[in-house]
Each structure stands twice: as structure tokens, then as C-alpha cells.
Amino acid sequence: MPPIVIVGSGLAGYTLLKEIRKCDTTTPVTLVTADNGAFYSKPNLSNALTAGKTAAALASASAEKMAAEQNATILTHTRVTAIDTQGQRIRIDSGELDYSKLVLALGADPIPHGLSGEGAAGVLAVNDLADYVAFRNAIDGKKRIAVLGGGLIGCEFANDLAHAGFAVDVVHLGGWPLERLLPVEAGQRLADSLAALGVNWHFGRTAKSVEQTTDGYQVALDNDEKIAADVVLSAIGLRPRTQLAQAGGIPVGRGIQTDRLLETGAANVYAMGDCAEVEGLNLPYVQPLMVQARALAGTLAGTPTPVIYPAMPVMVKTPAHPVAVLPPKIGAAGGWKVECSDTGVCALHTDEAGRLQGFALTGTETGRRNALAKEVAT
């Protein structure tokens, strides 16, 4: 019997491997990964300076250690280049590999920044440990960092860098940070707190080009304002890795489409984590992939277990002014009711009947997130 094959050694792939091993210590499992397979927690990349961690310290176990601990075969620096869903095999750099079940935990790619200029190739993005090593090397001994994008990842890096003493400019198309998740009052409070830490905001703007200068880069905005920077970090978003599945004839939308059992349109092929679109929902956060891993381990062990998400608030790691958000479902009727105090903002999204559908909390109000999450109808 061929092994269960997991593709990807991010939190999705490794959490699934650990969940499988909790109930089944013997079924052969092979994990294939394009990177070095080191285990790390990706959320730590955007607060490692504040935590006093070097890039190397973020990897808590090597692939060899994970393979020994989880009784699995781990093929590192090995890219899957094709899936034959009929023959139940994948193509890898060194040949072919049969599978009994295949789990795609491929993650997401940074959205290309599309900037012009001779400095554009030097713009960095941080989406894995190797990127982070490059980023830490680039900022070493430098002072001025331009961050493109004021979403979750951009805000977290801005906070981390400003706290560590860097001069930070953030260029953001929206009128306030995280504008798709937060009502204006909550976003403005976050913006003000980061500004108090030294972050220089450029709202309603996009970067057009990046030129190299004698001492770094010059970022030109769409209003022709120029920002001088030593390092430019793009944090404009991620998009699920779907190409491999699509080329194998597996249906994709925003992500690789699955049902609640995480099964794709191809028999015995599953998807989870940032690459997956589970019944129309792509949730690129840690808690959903943990729920998926537990359910899928049950399904792979022979007990079909649908994914049922609890209410899952997302914490934005901005210690200057923390944020907890549980967005209402897309298209939800109703509206925000916002209360502001000196120490935080509490915004509740309710429907016409007054039922809580989501919330955005900042500052001291974030302490209410678990209690409120229990009230939200899932």
C-alpha cells in the first residue's frame, strides 16, 4: 500500500502529520517539501524583533528531527511538479511517488508587487523562514524601512520594526489600516498608536516605482511623493497556490476547492491550510488549519469527519495597540455599533434582530474576545 503523501511542511502539513500520529503510529506517511522542512511557527516572523529572536532561533526542529519524532519520511528540497490523479502518483524532481491519499498543504504566494524601476527587484516579501533570513540580513545596520501594505502583516511588521527603533513608512491604499476588517474608528485607533511609535502613514496611496539610489531606494507614490528607504518590504497580500492542482485537473477557485471533508474534486486528494478553499471559504490563518488538521486526520483514519469551525477571532500582533477581529460573514446584513473609550474600541456587528455576527476590538477591549466569540452565531 503506498503511503499517505503530504505536500508542504508549513503549519498545515506538519500539524496534519502530528494529528495523524496521535491516532495512528504506523501507516506510512511521506511529507514532501520544496523547502528545508524546518519546523517553525510562521506568525512569529512578524514579531521576532520584539521577541528578541534571531531568524535561526525561530526554527524549533529540523526536518530530520520531525521525521524521527513523527515516524515519517520527509523529502526536503523536493518540489512536486505534477499530479496524476488517475494513476495516484505525483512527479517530483527525482522521479515519481505513488500515494494512497494525497494532501496538498501548499500555502500561498505573495502577490507580485508589479512595481517598475531598477530597484523593484530588490523589494522583499516575507512569507517563510528563508525570506525572513534574507529580510533580517537586509535590515542589519540599516534604519529606514518602507512597508507596502497596511493589512495584518504590514501592520505587524510596522509595529515590530518601529518598536525596534527603525524609521518606518507604510504605504496603504485604504483610508485606515485593515480597512476590510475594521470599522474606521478601530482602524484609526490602531493607526494613531502606531504613529505614536513613529510609524509614518501614507493612506490612500500606492507605490508606483522603486529606484535605486546611492544609499538605498527611493519609492515613488502615485501622488509623486518620494520615500527614501534602505529596505522595501512588500506586504500587499497573499494568494493561494493553486497552479499545481489546476494543472492536474483539480477544480480551483480562489483556492483549491474542497468539501467539508477537505476532499478536492479528485478522489483521494485533499487540500488544507492557506491553499485550500473549503466550501467557498479561504481562511489563511492558524486556527482554521488546526481545525482542518484534526478533522482530516480522522477522515484519513477511516472516520469521515467534516470540518466544523468554531467562531475564530484573529489577533493582530500589534502590541502598540492590539486588535482582535472576527469579521461578519461576507454580505452579512446589519451594521457596526461602535463604542470608543480612552483605552480601546469595541465595535459589534449585529443583524436587524440584534444578533451578534462579528466584532472588532482594540486595546483593552480585546480582553472580551473569547466571551464575545461564544455569542457569535457560526
The least distance separating ligand FAD from the CB of residue 252, rounded to whole angstroms, comes to 14
Stretch that binds ligand FAD, among 2-10, 52-60, 141-149, 174-182 (CB under 6 A): 2-10
In the bound complex, what is the minimum distance in angstroms from residue 273's beta carbon to ligand FAD? 2
35 binds ligand FAD (CB under 6 A): yes
80-84 β-sheet, strand order: 80-84, 89-92, 95-98
Please identify which residue in 101, 202, 205, 317 interacts with ligand FAD, judged by CB under 6 A.
317
**Footprint (CB under 6 A) of ligand FAD, residues 153-212:** 153
CA-wise closest residue to 274 among 242, 249, 304, 243? 242
Please tell me whether residue 13 binds ligand FAD under the rule CB under 6 A: yes
What's the Cα-to-Cα distance from 371 to each of 204, 240, 332, 375, rounded to whole Å?
A: 35, 32, 21, 7
Options 46, 70, 88, 257; binder of ligand FAD; rule CB under 6 A: 46
CB of 156 to ligand FAD, least distance (A): 6
Site for ligand FAD in 126-145 (CB under 6 A): 126-127
- Is 240 a binding residue for ligand FAD by CB under 6 A? The answer is no
237 binds ligand FAD (CB under 6 A): no
Residue 289 makes contact with ligand FAD by CB under 6 A: yes
Q: According to CB under 6 A, which one of 274, 295, 320, 365 is a site residue for ligand FAD?
A: 274
Q: For residues 200 and 162, give the distance between their C-alpha atoms in angstroms, rounded to a whole number.
A: 10
CB 298 within 8 Å of CB 305: yes
Contact 365, 345 (CB under 8 A): yes
Q: Which of 80, 124, 148, 295 binds ligand FAD (CB under 6 A)?
A: 80
Report the 10 Å Cβ neighbour count for 214.
Answer: 4
The answer to whether 328 contacts ligand FAD (rule: CB under 6 A) is: no
Chain residues in the site for ligand FAD (CB under 6 A): 7-13, 32-35, 42-43, 45-46, 79-80, 105-107, 126-127, 153, 241, 244, 273-274, 284-287, 289, 314, 317
